Amino acid sequence: MPDPIILPLLFLLLRLSGARVLLVVHDPFPHGLTITERSSWLLRLKLKILFLTPSALIILTEGGKKVVNQQFGVNLSKIFPIPHPGFGSIVEKPIEGTGRLLVFGSIRPDKNILEVILAVKQARLRWPTLRLHIAGNPGGGNEATCLAAIQDDPAGFVIDARFIQESEIPGIIADSDAFVLAYQNFESQSGVAVLAGLSGRPVIATGMDGFLELQQQGLVMFQIPGKGTPADIEAGIEKLQIASLAQLREQTSNGRLRLQHSLSVKRVASLVLDAAKQS
C-alpha cells in the first residue's frame, strides 16, 4: 500500500502548483484482505486520505467506483472508471475440448481454491476427463488443506504452486479449455480474466462486477450462481461441459476481437486524457 502520509502531501503540493493529479486505483482495498481486515478503521482512514487528495481517481471498474464513493466518500464526479489496457494475445491455439480447467495467478483466500477443488472432484464423477491445473504462487495459508483434498483423486489435478515464468504461460493456457475464477469480495478488473479472453478462453466466474463488465466487452463467461460454494462452482462447470465446442470456439474468437478493441491502448489513453481534462 502507498505511504498514507507522504503521497497525499505530494498530491496537495502538486495541486497547489496548478498541476492536475490523477491517481490510478487498481483495487479499492488491497488484494486478499478478509472482511475483518477491510473493516479496520485505521486502514479505512489511510485509504480515505489517499483517495481524497488527488484531483481525480481512475479506477478500473464501475463496481470499484461504487465502493470508493460509498465507503470513502469520494464524489462521483471525481471518479473515472477506465479499464486497464489489454496486453495482446499470447495464445492463438483454439480450445481443444480436453476438459482441462485452469486456476491461474497468485493463490489467495479470496479465490476460493479449496471450493474449486471440491467442485472439480464432484464434477469428475460425471465427466471423468476433467482435470484442474492450479498454477501460481501460494499465499493463502490453506495450502495444506487444499493438498489434502486432492489426495484421494490425484489424477484429476496438476499443482504448480510456484512462481510461473512468463515463457511458461502460453503453453499452460494453450492446454486449457477454460479459466476458473471463483473470486469473492473482488471489485477490480481481473488481469487473469483479461488474459483468458485475449487468449480465446472462456471463464467460469462468479458474478463480481469486474467479470460482468468484461463480459459486456467481449469476455465469454459461464457464471457461477449463488455464493460460490462447491455446488455453485460445479454448476458453472456444467455450463461449460454442455456447451457446443464449435460454438464456443466461435464465441471466444469473436470475444477476443471485441476485447482487443475495448481494451486497446489507444482507446484507454483517450479515456485517460478525457478524465484529465474534466478533473
How far apart are alpha carbons 221 and 188 in whole angstroms? 17
The mean of the pLDDT values for the chain is 89
Which structural domains are found in the chain, ordered by start? 6-83+264-278 (no CATH), 100-262 (3.40.50.2000)
* pTM of the predicted model over 0.85: yes
pLDDT digits (tens, 9 = 90+) for 36-64: 677 788 888 888 999 999 999 999 999 89
Q: Residue 1 — very low, low, confident or very high, per pLDDT cuts 50/70/90?
A: low
